[in-house]
Amino acid sequence: MLLCANWKMNLSAKEAAEFINTYARSLVPSSVPTVILAPFTAIPAVAEAVKTSALPRERLAFGAQNLYFESFGAFTGEVSATMLLELGCQYAVCGHSERRQIFGETDEIVGKKVIRCVETGLTPIFCIGETLDERKAGNVEIVLKRQLDVGLSRLTEDQFSKLVVAYEPVWAIGTGVVATPEQAQDAHHFIRHRLKAMCGETAKRIHVLYGGSVNPQNVESLMGQPDIDGALVGGASLKVDSLLALHSGCSKVNTAKLKR
């Protein structure tokens, strides 16, 4: 299981360092890693604070919320995979719905980001999910299938083992309207099934995270579902106590069940 904190455009470098210092001091031993996904400008401060904490990467890791798929060149404002690796990042989010909706990222663009991550040694956290209109129209599986098929079309079967997938229904992001454990499990089951068609038995080992209004109160019921292997959390990851409570919820489920 994995607990991923997507801070979005929140926390300055100074605030991020203070956050990590406090979080690392209070983190109880557990087999659930925390992954901090910080704004670009806070990544060096997070890296330094993680190093100072002396916690191993299996317990506290970090990454970026985005990257560009080219290696270098005239792409004003963009950041490459190797630049992130140099800072110690292990993860990068690819195709978050906010990137898709606000910044116009297509399935093709997201797919190029995913393969760039895998080829350079970053773990992509590949985000998919339907809008409310798509759900109401009964198109959840059609949308998820298209996002998976196009977004992952460049990966070889072996490369699927380097992938993390996040199911984030757009209607649940930042709304307080969380998917029910059954709705989430249904979508995750479908995703697992599609992944199996794409990479065979490797699909069993891929972490498929749920994101969208996860909080300390609902985290255990969601994580208890058989095909949910972790959480990608926005708002509830911005306060140390709340992230610690989420971590404790994930750890409880993880010890109760054998999870990926």
With residue 18 as reference, give the H or E element that holds it: helix 13-26
CA distance 178 to 244: 20
Considering the complex, state which of residue 94 and residue 232 has its C-beta at the smaller distance from ligand 13P.
232
Cβ-based neighbours of 240, under 8 Å, separated by 6 or more: 19, 22, 23, 26
Residues 208-237 interacting with ligand 13P (rule: CB under 6 A):
211-214, 232-236
From the candidates 96, 188, 207, 247, which is the catalytic residue?
96
Considering the complex, state which of residue 9 and residue 258 has its C-beta at the smaller distance from ligand 13P.
9
Rounded to a whole number of angstroms, the minimum distance from the CB of residue 121 to ligand 13P is 22
The answer to whether 6 contacts ligand 13P (rule: CB under 6 A) is: yes
Rounded to a whole number of angstroms, the minimum distance from the CB of residue 50 to ligand 13P is 20
CA distance 89 to 108: 24
Query: How buried is 112 (Cβ within 10 angstroms: 0-12 exposed, 13-18 middle, 19+ buried)?
Result: middle
How many C-beta neighbours within 10 Å does residue 57 have?
A: 12
CA distance 160 to 200: 10
Rounded to a whole number of angstroms, the minimum distance from the CB of residue 96 to ligand 13P is 6
Bridge partners of 123, per DSSP, are: 91
Q: Say whether 189 is catalytic.
A: no
How are beta strands 91-94 and 164-167 bridged, if at all? unpaired
Size of the site for ligand 13P (CB under 6 A): 14
Rounded to a whole number of angstroms, the minimum distance from the CB of residue 82 to ligand 13P is 24
From the candidates 98, 105, 130, 168, which is the catalytic residue?
168
Q: What would the x/- binding string for ligand 13P be over residues 96 to 115, using CB under 6 A?
A: x-------------------
Considering the complex, state which of residue 104 and residue 176 has its C-beta at the smaller distance from ligand 13P.
176
Residues 172-211 interacting with ligand 13P (rule: CB under 6 A):
173-174, 211
Rounded to a whole number of angstroms, the minimum distance from the CB of residue 84 to ligand 13P is 17
Considering the complex, state which of residue 143 and residue 199 has its C-beta at the smaller distance from ligand 13P.
143
With residue 166 as reference, give the H or E element that holds it: strand 164-167
Q: Say whether 193 is catalytic.
A: no
Tally helices (H) and strands (E) across the chain: 10, 8
Q: Which residues bind ligand 13P (CB under 6 A)?
A: 6, 96, 168, 173-174, 211-214, 232-236
Residues marked active site are found at 96, 168
